[in-house]
Chains A and B, each alone.
Chain A
């Protein structure tokens, strides 16, 4: 049977909001662990996780190939990184002592700290202020086998506009952090595609520091890899910042795809919108989605919404979806969350087939429909077509393998 766990409150939750300071049970709540969460650049400050910890309890540690316990040693040429950027963009490497490295925030788990502690240099892509790029910056990370620790900083100057596409392919064991430093009034769109081979392991923290009146749009697309655990985080550096975080994932048999989001509303009058959708098929396909939003006492005028939707296409797949919304001020514009996990079941298949639609097309129809709204929201036409193609390819593969 497909196994669905959605916390809190059963298979579907929607719009549960807790406001601190309201008399009664809410005011008696204990302080949230996330505000006191351990954060450090030094791996030795983090104990080796054993799997019982709140932030590791869904992750199969034994499949991380030693990234979490210090036994994974970096090898040379584990990945090949290529950066293609339009003229005017600075592409270089800097020492780890460069002020920009780690500027968006400290690592918050042991693997992120391991990556930070293991690097000598970081990649830097810098878009000068007021620059409007008409072509995307492309970063390809191709795994060639072995272990890689990495760090990439993407800096967008004030009022600059850029699109960055990061693509991960091949096979490797990778722990890497990415930082987005977004200047005042700047606009950055980042598409991070995880299209690894089936054996790859990828653990990364993506931290965005969103400047005053700046806009950050993140699109995370995860299809491939044995274990992928991404931790997109947003922090606001000034008022008026906007963050849109979109995600799309497709887990096949045996894959573990985990997305842990954290939006830290620590600044007044900022907005965030999170929408992640995933489909799963096959035995032991596992997706984890954690959506943490914290509205601190000083963040008046915050407007936030987060959504996670999952579609189980076969038995044997599992989803853990945990939306968390913590509000320390009532002076906000809006806050909400929703999580739901549904199944594509035999009755749906029968219904569509009874209207003449062949089984594989029926499945495709449902999955395309499921993702369509999100893909349109992303609003990058070139990416839209590729995503739909990729989704179709995932479905083809499963039909070929007899899963469907």
Chain B
């Protein structure tokens, strides 16, 4: 059973006046089949955690470790992490001009699966996954994220999650910028992958709204660069009611 272990993770970024520490000792274990919601105010370091796990070069790991089934994730390149089973659905997916969605998906699936998917079954697989997410088939011929609306970008991210079947999926504010219909469709996509029981999900969000559709097993409050409280789904209800104030008092959140 795949397990992601984050141990005392410290991360900094280069700022104008030298490096600035953003993550200040994150500890978390995510197992296959589990869904962890990470909730926190803006600027608490939630996205930094997501991008650090995926290996974005902007972030420097100053100490701590991240292990996937005992393997040192931090020693892997970005693409190696993806092939090891880490998937990041981004808050702001990047436009890639000149590369069609269909070409991108196939290249990616080939890299992740270690061999090119058989064309006939692949086409069917993509078609069905797109239909499930209520995406127009013409979408496949557009360039990656180019001119996509906010909702289209998020559906495209979840489409990739469905096709790439990661062991650990990190969803970074996937709910932001979505209307209720799009939120439901995207959430259903995430739930289809979760129902396989083969993915550990790290759901990063500012709002509790998405938790109506995706039920977490654990909820963690993130503030000031680390997890300050953990509990079950009831913690999300408390946050809904009381907000983050009690966690950010005294300048704990930056």
Contacts and interface: CB of A to CB of B under 8 A. Distances in A.
Nearest to A340: B97
B111 A366 contact: no
Interface residues on A, range: 20 to 34
Interface residues of B, number: 31
Interface string A352-365: 11111111010001
A245 to B, nearest CB: 21
Contacts of B57: 346, 350
Contacts of A311: 97-98
B253 interface: no
Contact of A357 (B87, B88, B94, B111): B111
A26 interface: no
Contacts of B56: 350
B28 to A, nearest CB: 20
A353 B99 CA distance: 14
A352 B94 CA distance: 9
Interface in A351-394: 351-359, 361, 365-372
A87 interface: no
Given A311-B98, A355-B108, A356-B111, A369 B103 contact: yes
A368 B96 CA distance: 12
A366 B99 contact: yes
Nearest to B113: A356
Contacts of B96: 348, 351-352, 366, 369
A354 B55 contact: yes
A351 B96 CA distance: 9
A353 to B, nearest CB: 4
B98 A357 contact: no
Most buried by B among A350, A367, A370: A350
A91 to B, nearest CB: 40
A250 to B, nearest CB: 14
A372 B98 CA distance: 8
A342 interface: yes
B62 interface: no
A359 B79 contact: yes
A342 B94 CA distance: 13
Contact of A356 (B83, B90, B99): B83
Interface string B158-189: 00100010000000000000000000000000
Interface in A82-110: none
Contacts of A350: 54-57, 78, 94
Contacts of B97: 311, 342, 366, 369-370
B25 interface: no
A357 B79 contact: yes
A355 B55 contact: no
Contacts of B160: 355
A365 B104 contact: yes
B93 interface: yes
Interface string B103-117: 110011001100000
Contacts of A371: 98
Interface of B: 54-57, 77-79, 81-83, 87-88, 90, 93-100, 103-104, 107-108, 111-112, 143-144, 160, 164
Which 8 A-B pairs give the minimum distances between C-beta atoms?
Answer: A369-B98, A370-B98, A356-B111, A353-B78, A356-B82, A355-B108, A351-B94, A369-B99
28 contacts: A311-B98, A348-B94, A350-B55, A350-B57, A350-B78, A351-B90, A351-B94, A353-B55, A353-B77, A353-B82, A354-B55, A354-B78, A354-B79, A354-B82, A354-B88, A355-B79, A355-B82, A355-B104, A355-B160, A356-B83, A356-B111, A359-B77, A361-B107, A365-B103, A366-B97, A369-B98, A371-B98, A372-B98
